[in-house]
Amino acid sequence: RASERLALDREMELARQIQDSYMPPPTTLIGEGVSVHTYQRKYHALGGDWVAMRQLPDGRVVVLVADASGKGIQASLVTFALHSLWASALAEPEFYPVGWLSHVKQTRKSWRGSTLQTMTIGLAVISDEELVYYSAGHIPCFVAVAGESGGRYVKTLRASGNMVGVVDDLSLVPARLDL
């Protein structure tokens, strides 16, 4: 049993290293007139929280925040599947948020098994002119905006949509903020 436990511990450490490899470090991405800062602190060695960013060829910045239900190995596997879908979208010349979220939903729907596995996803697309936030069951998007007098204030964007894995229709209604 001791050797089995040691082998399991080695596998868990390898799984943690793999998951950490696709988790971005604390990051600042500066696009045209936009800066995005990310930071993620893991609660467990393996889990279902994930954040990602990319800059599109047209200068827009896309920020993704996801949370797979559950904890540990099961949630980390769902997050890895989401990462794979994200990585495949990076190869595409265009990025369509609603189309990508629908693809995630369809992929999740194709999984067999009796375990209900859900995830929430928040997706923000930021350009010079606006920020558009899509929510598939995720919390609101909080944006620090520079005020006219030089100070900052926080704007809350409440988009709506269904969690991935609960119902067939995402019913996405994005929220917009003019910048």
- Per-residue model confidence as pLDDT tens digits over 81-139: 999 999 999 888 889 999 999 999 999 988 877 677 899 999 999 988 899 999 999 99
> What is the predicted pLDDT for the residue at 117?
85
Give residue-wise pLDDT tens across range 35-50. 777 777 777 788 888 8
pLDDT above 70 for 33? no
CB of 48 within 8 A of CB of 68? yes
Mean pLDDT of the chain: 87
Whose tokens are 């949630």? That residue is 75
> What is the predicted pLDDT for the residue at 91?
82
> What is the predicted pLDDT for the residue at 128?
84
10-42: string of b/e by CB count within 10 Å (b at 16+)? Answer: eeeeebbeebeeebeeeeebebeebebebeeee
Nearest Cα to Cα of residue 27 among 39, 45, 35: 39
Nearest Cα to Cα of residue 175 among 162, 154, 161: 161
pLDDT above 90 for 21? no
Q: What's the average model confidence in pLDDT over 60-89?
A: 90
